[in-house]
Amino acid sequence: MILKPSQRGQIMPLPVVLITTVSQGGVRNAAPWSCVTPVLRPLDEVLIVSWLKRDTLDNIRQTGEFVINVPRVGMEEAVMICARNYPPEVDELVEAGLEPRPSAVVRAPGIEGCLAWAECTLEEEIARDRYVLIIGRVVHLEADDRFFSETEGMDYEQACPLCSMGGPNGMQFVRPVFTGKGDRYASMLSEPKK
């Protein structure tokens, strides 16, 4: 089946995160984001993409800070409340019944109940006509001890990070499962077999 380029959001699952910010005046904001990715391994930068008309973007420009919160399956309703188009003076954490979590380095709070938190500072903005690429530097990274260990990484079967899949009638929330296969990073460096 040949798809239209605009259906690109329907060909792969995307992560769902909640980005928290505060305005210069101190109003907290939370909004779901899917255009978000770490920039190469092992760098400490992340990339998020924002339409121009976003309180999140305004707040990042005002304060130079944001937090990427990774919500769990079960938080879909709160995520969708945060997606509503509230005016900038509305605190979306209150609207969605989300509990703030003090951040270690930045002023913007994280969100309790999420499974990981990346506190970021604005590194660079790349402006396009209709949207902005924001490169952030991760200045503090933390994960819930219940789902994360130094040796095993995230137990995502237990943690259940939330993803989404686009479709003709909107989006559906989905979650990753283990395929039973994996390999070490070092295997990418080995010579191909002759």
- Is residue 65 a contact residue for ligand FMN (CB under 6 A)? no
Q: How far is the CB of 35 from ligand FMN (least distance, A)?
A: 3
Over its C-alpha atoms, the chain yields an Rg (Å, rounded) of 18
- Is residue 143 a contact residue for ligand FMN (CB under 6 A)? no
Residue placing its CB nearer to ligand FMN in the complex, 20 or 103: 20
Buried-exposed string 116-154: b where 16+ CB fall within 10 A, e elsewhere: bbbbbbebeeeeeeeebebebbbeeeebbeebbeeeeeb
- Is residue 63 a contact residue for ligand FMN (CB under 6 A)? no
Closest CA relative to residue 18, chosen from 131, 123, 111: 111
Q: Across-strand partners of 132? A: 50, 127
From 29-37, 99-107, 119-127, 134-142, span contacting ligand FMN (CB under 6 A): 29-37
- Is residue 18 a contact residue for ligand FMN (CB under 6 A)? no
Structure-token pair, residue 172: 């559906």
Site of interaction with ligand FMN (CB under 6 A)? 16, 29, 31-35, 49-51, 54-56, 83-85, 164
